[in-house]
Copies of this chain bind each other. A is one copy, B any other.
Amino acid sequence: MVTLKSVAEELGVSLSLVSKVLNGRMGTTNVTPAKVELIKAKAKEMGYVKNSSAVALLSGKQDSIGTFLHCSGVTGSGIMENLLMGISASTYRHHKRQSLCFYGSKEEFLGLAKYASRGRMDGLLVGNITQFVSCEKLLEIQNNGLPIVTMYDRPLHPEITNVGISQVRVGEVGTKHLIEQGCRNIVNINNMDDRLEGYKLALKKAGIKYSKGNVFFVNEHFADNGYGSHVGEQAVKYFMENGVKFDGVVTQSDRETVGAINYLTKIELRVPEDVKVIGVDNSPYCEFMPIPLSSVEQNPGVQGGVATDLLMQKIDKQNVSSVLIEPTLVVRESSGGNQD
């Protein structure tokens, strides 16, 4: 390994001179410019690179943040890719490195948690979905001096900074859009209280009465949390069989939207002419589906970036508080937005 010492010996100068020259720390004095160039050239020639462990040991800073993500997520939605890109871009901006780990079970999470300390990283980002995370463990880690920022829908604990997506707004934005598109009987596929609240809010603001019969509560029909296309399909089927009249469907994922549209098409209802549909995630496939899908974009990239920025501030001992990211409406054909 090429060290400062080896460069210095090669040139017959002292180690500390090489260090100063390479770091541009020569104080007010002048080293011979020729010597400076010589040293720099030699270091480059030998392929010298600073040993980050030594720097970290000395400075007490790792220049690295840890990222623990639950490995699931709605595959194909682009959420994880975008989240990672957002984190990566911010990390790069702050000249830090990112140490990424996935976990799939509580054991794996606790296994990772062992390494979460100042001796290994300057801060920790935890996110994707709350499953398997131990709030006590995170508090313990933070109390041991490692700043943490989580990326969940809502904060796990008042003392742990969180960057979430406003799920109330997710529900509201989609519903509001369909209302503006002329829908008056909007059904909702739901498995999240906040989104239901947003749905109700939008209806209320438009003076439309809320009816419980217009909501398909996923957990009453499926063991899992839904989000798959089969849920969209079943929900629409359920509404039809129960004689619920509707001209709009607010789903909770793009997959559900696909399922809903597949079923509507099968029973010869036209989208968006007869029924308008909007989903959540703005998945990449939205734009090239036979009927392009309108969707509420949750902006995971922004979430990752903001979370990283906040973590950097926390590392710098600044006070930060939890944040909610606003979702964005993306209008395409399934809600009658872009017909030509």
Residues of B within 8 A of A117 (CB): 47, 49
CA distance A31 to B84 in the complex (A): 48
Residues of B within 8 A of A78 (CB): 75-76
State whether the Cβ of A11 lies closer than 8 Å to any Cβ in chain B.
Answer: no
State whether the Cβ of A97 lies closer than 8 Å to any Cβ in chain B.
Answer: yes
Contact yes or no, B1 A60, CB < 8 A:
yes
Contact yes or no, B284 A47, CB < 8 A:
no
* Interface stretch (choices A197-205, A206-214, A257-265): A257-265
Contact yes or no, A145 B99, CB < 8 A:
no
Contact of A56 among B53, B60, B81 (CB under 8 A): B53
Contact yes or no, B288 A64, CB < 8 A:
no
State whether the Cβ of A240 lies closer than 8 Å to any Cβ in chain B.
Answer: no
- Chain A at the B interface: mostly helix, strand, loop or mixed? mixed
Within 8 A of B (CB), among A232-283: 255, 258-259, 261-262, 265, 283
Within 8 A of B (CB), among A51-65: 51-54, 56-57, 60, 62, 64
> Given the interface contacts A52-B119, A52-B120, does A98 sit within 8 Å of B99 by beta carbon?
yes
Query: Quick one: CB contact mask for A64-102 with B, threshold 8 Å, 1 for yes?
Result: 100100010101111011001100110110000111111
CA distance A259 to B2 in the complex (A): 54
State whether the Cβ of A115 lies closer than 8 Å to any Cβ in chain B.
Answer: yes
Residues of B within 8 A of A56 (CB): 53
Query: Quick one: CB contact mask for A314-335 with B, threshold 8 Å, 1 for yes?
Result: 0000000000000000000000
- Closest Cβ of chain B: how far from A336's Cβ, in Å? 19
State whether the Cβ of A118 lies closer than 8 Å to any Cβ in chain B.
Answer: yes
State whether the Cβ of A50 lies closer than 8 Å to any Cβ in chain B.
Answer: yes
CA distance A208 to B163 in the complex (A): 58
State whether the Cβ of A132 lies closer than 8 Å to any Cβ in chain B.
Answer: no
CA distance A91 to B115 in the complex (A): 14
Q: Which of A2, A140, A265 has the most CB of B within 10 A?
A: A2
> Given the interface contacts A81-B81, A98-B100, A100-B84, does A288 sit within 8 Å of B53 by beta carbon?
no
Residues of B within 8 A of A64 (CB): 99
Contact yes or no, A284 B75, CB < 8 A:
yes
Closest 3 CB pairs of A and B: A76-B284, A51-B119, A49-B117
Known pairs A1-B145, A71-B88, A88-B100 / 20 extra A-B pairs, C-beta < 8 Å: A47-B143, A47-B144, A49-B115, A52-B53, A52-B62, A52-B115, A54-B57, A75-B78, A75-B284, A76-B76, A76-B78, A88-B101, A92-B108, A98-B100, A99-B100, A258-B290, A262-B290, A283-B285, A285-B285, A289-B289
